[in-house]
Structure 1
Amino acid sequence: MVKKAQVLPLTPNAAPAAKLDESKTKALRIPVVDDHPVIRKGLVQILAEEFTDMVAGEASDAAQALEEIWKHEWDVVILDITMPGRSGLDVLKEVRQFAPKLPVLILSVHTEDQFAVRVLRSGAAGYLTKHVASTELVAAVKRVLTGAKYIRPSVAERLAEHVESGTNNPLHQSLSNREFQVLRLIALGKTIKEIGGELSLSVKTISTYRCRILTKMKLKNNAEIMRHALQHDLVSFDRPEPNRGD
């Protein structure tokens, strides 16, 4: 039998969210941040089956997520990386800066090879792909609630390799999160002007990031950036990715 979770609205223009029921102040509180409504609803349902009287929140983009993260007290955040506008990495950065004790569990469509090491280095409490079983998602939530990291064996091995042999890591691992974000958008065929508009940065700033990317990765042009991104599965053309960057 599915337990229904108390869901708080996570939309900037919605009526003020209902205050938490005083009788449920000990209930687990989790905001689910993903731009796909079906995925959000499914995740809330999975968690509600395990955690009695869970208070759930839903957000479809970074702006909604950050607004509600500061508005309410939460126990753990479940966060997607690729969303319209600012990416999940941007949300993670702000949470780590202003609420360092709040665990953030990344749940992404991207494989571990693509992003796991990067998000864990950025302060995430764990990284899961959306292909994992619901039981593993629940196990991950329970673990990060204790203050521990949830790291799958395959990811732990990659982290060890990253520490032990930095020179053998893919060149994109040397990029900052913002540079990595720009790299992916260039690889998706976006112009400097389009990228600047999506990230709310000037054309000059994006051009500077592009130059840094080319220098750090010893590449010559956008074509080589795209080739590298495709070879390392950093971008996917399975579906449109408007206004996105990780």
Structure 2
Amino acid sequence: MIRIIVADDHTLVRAGLHRILAGSDDLDVVGEASNGAEAMALLHATPCDVLMLDLSMPGRSGVDLIAQVKAEYPKVAILVLTMHGEEQYAVRALKAGAAGYLTKESAPAELVIAVRKVSGGGVYLSPAMAEKIAQDLTSARIDGPLYRRLSDREFDVFLMLARGLTLGEIAERLCVSAKTVSTYKARVLQKLQLGNQTELVHYAIRHELLRDNP
């Protein structure tokens, strides 16, 4: 029996995932969490094999949470299930220690396959995501584009700004102050050598970072 903890801040999403996983005799959802702190508490109290994790829960960066889970519970396989279809999110998640990456548009059958694959020690990416990553690596220059120099949180802020979210909206999503978001914005513009948010949007479009809107 594969024991699973589902971590997602949307109650309906967790309920839907629970129903999908309950349809397989070898899968057992042993706990649910709505944020990173709850996920860590569950891992401490409830043995599990797979942590199914949303990257966009309130609070700390999802990539930071992946790194913490792998440091404290190295035997737990992490399967990211997220709305983010950009390959850069997948690359960052895998580097942090995730064993699989799926978008929420994936079919239920693919989700079950992915859980079984990562629980057995494998790595799972949808064919479309694997192709995106391969193309990105193939087309990248030796030094790589400037956006790769952004930290995980800076990259999150960068994409939200590019999608037109205000500083206040970003602050609410990340559970930080608008002033903190403003600081991140300044760092992003500096690292990408851009003068303003309009240039930032054009940069994101030029590098095809908005191909999949979450």
* TM above 0.5: yes
- Partner amino acid for 2:155? F
**Deviation beyond 6 Å, 4+ runs, structure 1:** none
Contact 2:58 2:175 in 1 (8 A): no
Between the aligned partners of 2:53 and 2:16, the Cα distance in structure 1 is: 14
After TM superposition, list the pairs within 5 Å mapping 1:56-205 onto structure 2. Answer: 56-113=30-87, 115-167=89-141, 171-187=146-162, 188-190=165-167, 195=171, 198=174, 203=179
Q: Is 1:232 matched up with 2:212?
A: no
AA in 2 matched with 1:115: Y
How many positions carry a matched residue from both structures?
209
Partner AA of 2:197 in structure 1 = N
Instruction: Tell me the C-alpha RMSD between the 2 structures.
Output: 3.2
Q: How far apart are residue 183 of structure 1 and its match?
A: 2.2
- For structure 1, the residue ranges without an aligned partner over 5 or more in a row are 1-26, 239-246
After superposition, the Cα gap between the structure-2 partners of 1:53 and 1:145, relative to the gap in structure 1 and judged at 3 Å, is closer
More helix by share: 2
1:121 Cα offset (Å): 2.5
Please tell me whether the aligned partners of residues 117 and 155 of structure 1 are also in contact (alpha carbons under 8 angstroms). Answer: no
The CA deviation at 1:148 is 0.8
Are the counterparts in 2 of residues 184 and 235 from structure 1 also a CA contact under 8 Å? no
CA deviation after TM superposition for structure 1 residue 210, in Å: 3.7
Q: TM-score, normalised by structure 1?
A: 0.71
Question: Does the 8 Å CA contact 2:30/2:46 hold for their aligned counterparts?
Answer: no
Kindly, what percent of the aligned residue pairs are identical? 39
Distance verdict in 2 for CA 1:183–1:234, change over 3 Å? farther
Structure-2-length-normalised TM-score: 0.80
Name the CA shift for 1:122/1:201 in 2 (closer, same or farther; >3 Å).
Answer: farther
